Chains A and B, each alone.
Chain A
Amino acid sequence: MKVKEIVDKFDFKVLTAPDRLDVEVSGGYASDLLSDVMANSRPGNIWITLQTHQNIIAVAKLRSLAAIVLVNNRTPDAETLKSAEAEHVPLLSTGDPAFKISGKLYVRLGLKD
């Protein structure tokens, strides 16, 4: 399943890199600890987090993640938006909390970890 389809299905807001949504998603990963994401996420994962500072972009890029979903309608810092655009990392946002959006992706889309 591609990022674009997930965006449409759950009405995520696309905050950056709208031209990079045609990417296959390998699964989901939910965590707010950056080292944990570095250690355990897989390339192509969609990353669910509440972290909004710009270091999440480096993590997403280093792990070749498909996209970052910010939960609870969190707004990223201006610097985060800037580096996400520069590094072509799609930043998405949802009104759902992490538990709910993880559950939805897992159950409704069958998107595993």
Chain B
Amino acid sequence: MKLRDIRQMLEAEIISGEELLDVEIERAGASDLMSDVLAFGKPGLLLITGLSNAQSVRTASIIGAKAIVYVRGKKPDKEGAELAVQKKIPILSTKFLMYRTCGLLFSSGLHGITDLPGSERAIGRSEESAFVQEFGIVGGDFSRAGTVSLKIMEMLKEVGIDPAVVSRASIAAYEAEMNVVMYARKGTFTLSLTPAAIQMIVADEGAGIPDVELAMQEGYSTATEEMREMGFGAGMGLPNIKRNSDRLEIHSEVGKGTRLAISIDLKQSKSV
């Protein structure tokens, strides 16, 4: 179904993106909670929401939504409208309520998230579903070190997560990223967001840690002289991660690599 047809069906006003109305829409999702949207969101989605601030546009952009329909006659604020133009996300505004909007689109054949043929997510598993994004880290590349953490911080801020939680997640992310840069050949950084927690899995191919318990001790470091001169290798990396996370699991195999699973609850549970 084209966005143009959706506009007509919903008697909607075009707020922006008039030139994008021929885009094909296959599925839609409706929610006013952006953490929820992050959890169920999928690329190509039509986002139906009554939350009309800029956060809704940012969330749509992160999940790769094709368009936004604001219900109940809502319209984006100035910041949201500008962002939508910049991100090329067309915006419609309908006077219909969310229930009717969903009903009309559903009955004309638009799929939901979980009932699209080939969808790997089964209904009823929403607790486990999450927004997932993967980043690559290159070992030894100090010039790009920190970029993954910065992206993650921006992303968490954009979706409106508690600043204290974002702060803790950024510290843990940075230390985990730096460990890969310093001690491994390469690694992957996987960020998952569920409605309850931020999870960061950082897996690398590298030397591994012979004695994890020792490595967890404040002040213990195997950094080279060169790294220390740059201010790294103070033996604070893993302790920093532990202090800032709610759950931390470390698996390491000497000669193969290390895998960190860092979990931070969205509800601030500890002060650091």
Chain A neighbourhood of B174, CB < 8 A? 38, 58-59, 62
Cα–Cα, bound, A61→B167 (Å): 11
* Binding stretch for chain A, among B77-85, B101-109, B112-120, B230-238: B230-238
Given A33-B231, A39-B243, A55-B146, answer yes or no on A62-B171 (Cβ-Cβ < 8 Å).
yes
Closest Cβ of chain B to A5, distance in Å, is: 26
Contact check, A62 vs B150: say whether CB atoms are below 8 A apart: yes
Q: Render A32-69 as a binary contact track against B, CB cut-off 8 A, 1 for contact.
A: 11111011000100000101011111110111100000
Judge if B35 is at the interface, Cβ distance under 8 Å: no
A22 interfacial contact with B, CB 8 Å: no
Smallest CB gap from A35: residue in B: B236
Given A33, A43, A62, A64, which contacts B236 in the complex, CB threshold below 8 Å?
A33
- Closest beta carbon of chain B to A16's beta carbon, Å: 17
Q: Are B167 and A59 in contact (CB under 8 A)?
A: no
**Counting CB contacts under 8 A, is A11 at the interface?**
no
Which of A54, A55, A57 has the most chain B CB atoms inside 10 A of its CB? A55
CA gap between A59 and B147 in the complex, in Å:
10
Q: Decide if A36 touches B142 in the complex (CB within 8 Å).
A: no
Cα distance A72–B168 in the bound complex, in angstroms: 32
Q: Is B10 an interface residue (CB 8 A)?
A: no
With A35-B240, A39-B240, A62-B149 already in contact, the answer to whether A51 and B231 are too (CB < 8 A) is yes
Within 8 A of B (CB), among A51-92: 51, 53-59, 61-64, 79, 87
Is B6 part of the contact surface with A, judged by Cβ < 8 Å? Answer: no
Question: Residues of B within 8 Å of A, CB-based: how many?
Answer: 22
Contact pick for B142, options A38, A53, A57, A59, CB 8 Å: A53
**What class of interface size applies to chain A in its complex with B?**
20 to 34
Q: How many Å from the CB of B149 to the closest CB on chain A? A: 6
The reply to whether B175 and A38 form a contact with Cβ atoms under 8 Å apart is yes
* Residues of chain A within 8 A of B240, CB atoms compared: 35, 38-39
- Shortest Cβ distance from A54 into B: residue: B143
Chain B residue nearest in CB terms to A53 = B230
Query: Which residue, of B147, B231, B234, has the highest number of chain A Cβ atoms within 10 A?
Result: B231
Contact A35:B150 (CB < 8 A) given known A55-B142, A55-B145, A79-B143: no
Contact partners of B171 in chain A: CB under 8 A? 38-39, 62
CA distance A79 to B237 in the complex (A): 24
Q: Which residues in B have some Cβ–Cβ distance to A below 8 Å?
A: 142-143, 145-147, 149-150, 153, 167, 170-171, 174-175, 178, 230-232, 234, 236-237, 240, 243
Which of A's residues lie within 8 Å of B, judged by CB? 32-36, 38-39, 43, 49, 51, 53-59, 61-64, 79, 87
Interchain residue pairs with CB less than 8 A apart (11): A34-B230, A34-B234, A35-B175, A35-B234, A38-B236, A55-B230, A58-B149, A58-B174, A61-B150, A62-B174, A63-B170
